[in-house]
């Protein structure tokens, strides 16, 4: 029989679920375990090239090497609410495997002869000894230095100590460290992202990186879980302001839904819509004054940082999207801005769905709906209305 008591507004008094338990549950399911064991540990997860811009603004080709690793130590003990990297890892990868993967990547692109930049991503932190054997860290640092390539690695904050950076710069004196900060806001880091470090940890890491003479790339997350579209837009501009002076590059990652994550669960329940592309356009237009205080473009003297936005899965239901008709054009303009830094890329861009987006954001600013009201585009509205 159904519980006759009405649902109380403030919960039943039972202990709430811990976000940690929600994060961990899918990683231990049989499908996740089977998938992990299916990977070949001697092959990199993927290796591909993309157009990039070098430190001095010169266009170049960059190779991205995504290695098959044991994953991230924060994931082993808890994990971020949107991180689906556990899908791509194996817990028995050895230094020998990693060296084989690295050799395969170099072979595929002829020792990176055509690429000026090498990005090495490990689904975690390259400089974390529990995840990546030290001799392999050394191989990557040394090889890229000897080959004369601009190297970008990813790391959480706690690895970036003075001692570790002194060791790393002894092998490769000039590389970039990309940190997944996600939000410059302790409340968001704790309750929306479950990041496991605070803004103070990022502040400390940045001081150490600056002292070591290394470049800093900061990833910010556009629209973490449990946040409305309007809040995401306003917060992201504030975070860009907070980190711009201390970041050589800011890469804003609009949320895309990865399998088996909390955000995946919210999305399936129709409780989360990935960001509108229009929000990204407005975010860029508002943040441009921070990046270029005198209204310049990339490469101009007034450049404080470089703002990059790549809408992963842009135009798809699980990535940032608009109505479907204008998505490709808006994604292309956002991608062009990442290279040029010019607001002219958005000139003349419009669609009837812009009014829908504008109204949603306006309503979210006036109604007491912390999680927002926007719904993802799932098929045609007319078809939904016609269905029985």
* Residues binding ligand SF4 (CB under 6 A): 72, 74-75, 79-80, 83, 85, 123-124, 156, 180
Indicate the residue among 258 and 279 with the shorter CB distance to Zn ion: 279
Letters for 338-367 (x = contact with Zn ion by CB under 5 A, - = none) are -------------x-x--------------
- Of 256, 279, 322, 374, the one binding Zn ion (CB under 5 A) is 322
Region of 122-130, 146-154, 276-284, 320-328 interacting with Zn ion (CB under 5 A): 320-328
Label the pairing between strands 176-182 and 117-121. Answer: unpaired
Nearer to ligand SF4 among residue 261 and residue 305 (C-beta): 261
Name the minimum Å distance from CB 84 to ligand SF4: 8
Residue 149 to residue 110: CA distance in whole angstroms: 13
Closest distance of CB 156 from ligand SF4, Å = 5
CB of 276 to Zn ion, least distance (A): 9
DSSP 6: -
Bridge partners (DSSP) of residue 154 are: 178
Report the partner that residue 156 touches, choosing among Zn ion, ligand SF4, none (CB closer than 5 to 8 A by kind).
ligand SF4
Tokens of 163: 């001692």
323 touches, from ligand SF4, Zn ion, none (C-beta below 5 to 8 Å by class): Zn ion
Q: What gap in Å lies between CA 178 and CA 265, rounded to an integer? A: 28
Which residue number, 119 or 156, has a Cβ lying nearer to ligand SF4? Answer: 156
121 vs 276, beta carbon nearer Zn ion: 276
Q: What is the dihedral of CA 59, 61, 64, 65, to 10 degrees?
A: -140
| Three-class SS state of 138 | helix
What is the dihedral sign for C-alpha 223, 229, 233, 234?
negative
User: Minimum distance between the CB of residue 188 and ligand SF4, rounded to whole angstroms?
Assistant: 14
Helix, strand, coil % in the chain, rounded to nearest 5 = 45, 15, 45
Which listed range, 58-66, 87-95, 288-296, 318-326, lies at the site for Zn ion (CB under 5 A)? 318-326
Looking at beta carbons only, is 275 or 315 nearer to ligand SF4? 275
Minimum separation from the CB atom of position 127 to ligand SF4 (A): 13
Q: Which is nearer to ligand SF4, 216 or 330 (CB)?
A: 216
DSSP 3-state assignment of 369?
A: coil
Residues 6 or more apart whose Cβ sits within 8 Å of residue 198? 186, 189, 190
* Complete DSSP assignment for 200-227: HHHHHHHHHHHHTT-EEEEEEEES-SS-
Binding site partner of 351, from Zn ion, ligand SF4, none, Cβ cut-off 5-8 A by kind: Zn ion
| Nearest-10 Cα torsion for 367, 8, 224, 91 | -170
CB of 182 to ligand SF4, least distance (A): 8
Quick check: 326 binds Zn ion (CB under 5 A)?
yes
What is the nearest approach in angstroms of Zn ion to the Cβ of residue 326? 3
Q: Where are the alpha helices (DSSP H) in the chain?
A: 19-24, 30-37, 73-77, 95-108, 134-146, 162-171, 186-187, 199-211, 229-243, 262-268, 277-291, 327-340, 353-366, 381-386
CB of 368 to Zn ion, least distance (A): 28
Give the interface with Zn ion as residue ranges (CB under 5 A): 322-323, 325-326, 351, 353
């Amino acid at each position: 029989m159904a519980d006759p008591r009405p649902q109380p507004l403030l919960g039943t008094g039972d202990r709430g679920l811990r976000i940690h338990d929600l994060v961990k549950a899918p990683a231990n399911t049989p499908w996740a375990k089977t998938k992990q064991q299916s990977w070949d540990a001697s092959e990199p997860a993927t290796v591909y090239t993309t157009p990039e811009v070098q430190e001095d603004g010169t266009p170049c080709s960059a190779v991205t090497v995504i290695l098959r690793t044991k994953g991230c130590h924060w994931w082993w003990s808890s994990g971020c609410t949107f991180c689906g990297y556990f899908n791509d890892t194996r817990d028995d990868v050895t230094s020998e495997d990693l060296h084989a993967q690295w050799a395969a990547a170099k072979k595929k692109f002829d020792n990176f002869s055509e690429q000026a930049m090498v990005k090495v991503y490990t689904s975690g932190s390259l400089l974390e000894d529990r995840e990546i054997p030290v001799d392999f860290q050394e191989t990557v640092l040394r090889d890229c230095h000897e080959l004369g390539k601009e190297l970008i690695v990813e790391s959480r904050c706690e690895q970036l100590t003075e001692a570790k950076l002194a060791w790393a710069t002894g092998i490769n004196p000039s590389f970039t460290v990309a940190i997944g900060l996600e939000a410059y806001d302790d409340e968001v880091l704790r309750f929306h992202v479950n990041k496991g470090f605070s803004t103070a940890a990022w502040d400390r890491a940045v001081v150490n990186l600056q002292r070591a003479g290394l470049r800093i790339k900061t990833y910010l997350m556009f629209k973490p879980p449990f946040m409305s579209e309007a809040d995401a837009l306003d917060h992201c501009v504030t975070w860009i302001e907070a980190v711009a002076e201390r970041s050589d590059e800011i890469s804003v990652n609009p949320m895309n839904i990865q399998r088996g994550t909390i955000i995946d669960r919210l999305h399936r329940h129709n409780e989360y819509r990935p960001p509108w592309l229009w929000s990204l356009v407005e975010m860029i237009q508002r943040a441009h004054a921070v990046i270029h205080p005198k209204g310049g473009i990339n490469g101009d003297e007034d450049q404080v940082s470089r703002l990059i936005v790549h809408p992963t899965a842009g135009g798809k239901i699980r990535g940032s999207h608009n109505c479907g008709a204008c998505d490709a054009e808006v994604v292309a303009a956002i991608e062009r801005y990442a290279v040029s830094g010019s607001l002219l890329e958005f000139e003349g861009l419009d669609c009837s769905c812009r009014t829908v987006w504008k109204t949603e954001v306006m309503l979210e600013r006036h109604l007491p709906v912390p999680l927002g009201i926007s719904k993802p585009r799932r098929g045609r509205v007319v078809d939904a209305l016609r269905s029985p």
